[in-house]
């Protein structure tokens, strides 16, 4: 499995994957594709970085990460999605490790992620905790009533040089 940068031509496969993985609402898919279009079109340091897990030409999953504006070295793990037929094979773990290494190589000192607190999202939260993410906050009813926003953070680099 190769982790590679995504390009605009990957869009149809990403759209299909987002629809089939079952975790995202139509509005979430629309926003994910907006972010894909912006990230895949520009390779600049300030936008979204997109990486896919490519198994002999077939994308198994992807991750989207980017520097948080107005922070010195905090990055956000905006999106991670694995095709249902490729789950439970370490794809998400490989994507996340690659995204963290990319952030660290570009000055990232920590990663944050914001995850749904819905009961049916418990596997995702366990995954973040298994990857070394620490629970740092919970906003009740953030996404909607009964769906909290749960915030995670992991330190990935040395302290900011400007301290």
Strands 74-82 and 58-67: antiparallel
d(CA 126, CA 137): 15
Are the beta carbons of 79 and 40 closer than 8 angstroms?
Answer: no
Q: Does 73 bind a second copy (CB under 8 A)?
A: yes
Taking contact as CB under 8 A, which single stretch among the options 4-12, 42-50, 92-100, 108-116 is the one that binds a second copy? 108-116
For 113, half-sphere exposure in the C-beta direction (CA atoms, 13 angstrom radius) is 27
d(CA 103, CA 25): 28
Burial label for 55, CB within 10 Å (0-12, 13-18, 19+), is: middle
Q: Does 153 bind a second copy (CB under 8 A)?
A: yes
Among 38, 118, 151, 156, binds a second copy (CB under 8 A): 151
Q: Does 142 bind a second copy (CB under 8 A)?
A: yes
Are the beta carbons of 135 and 152 closer than 8 angstroms?
Answer: yes
Q: Does 112 bind a second copy (CB under 8 A)?
A: yes
Mask for 9-38, x = binds a second copy (CB under 8 A): ------------------xx--x-------
d(CA 100, CA 88): 20
Taking contact as CB under 8 A, which single stretch among the options 15-23, 57-65, 86-94, 133-141 is the one that binds a second copy? 133-141
Q: Does 141 bind a second copy (CB under 8 A)?
A: yes
Among 72, 97, 124, 131, binds a second copy (CB under 8 A): 72
In the complex, the residues that contact a second copy under the rule CB under 8 A are 27-28, 31, 69-74, 109-110, 112, 136-146, 151, 153, 159-160, 162-163
């Amino acid at each position: 499995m190769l982790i590679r940068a995504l390009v605009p031509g990957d869009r149809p496969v990403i759209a299909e994957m987002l629809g089939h993985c079952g975790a995202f609402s139509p509005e979430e898919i629309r926003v994910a594709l907006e972010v894909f279009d912006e990230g895949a079109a520009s390779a600049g340091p300030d936008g979204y970085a997109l990486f896919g897990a490519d198994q002999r030409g077939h994308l198994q999953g992807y991750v989207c990460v980017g520097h948080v504006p107005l922070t010195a070295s905090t990055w956000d793990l905006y999106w991670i999605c694995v095709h249902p037929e490729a789950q439970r094979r370490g794809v998400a773990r490989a994507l996340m490790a690659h995204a963290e290494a990319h952030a660290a190589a570009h000055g990232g000192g920590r990663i944050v992620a914001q995850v749904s607190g819905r009961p049916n999202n418990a596997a995702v939260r366990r995954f973040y905790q298994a990857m070394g993410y620490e629970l740092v906050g919970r906003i009740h009813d953030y996404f909607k009533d009964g769906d909290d926003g749960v915030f995670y953070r992991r330190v990935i680099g040395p302290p900011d040089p400007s301290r």
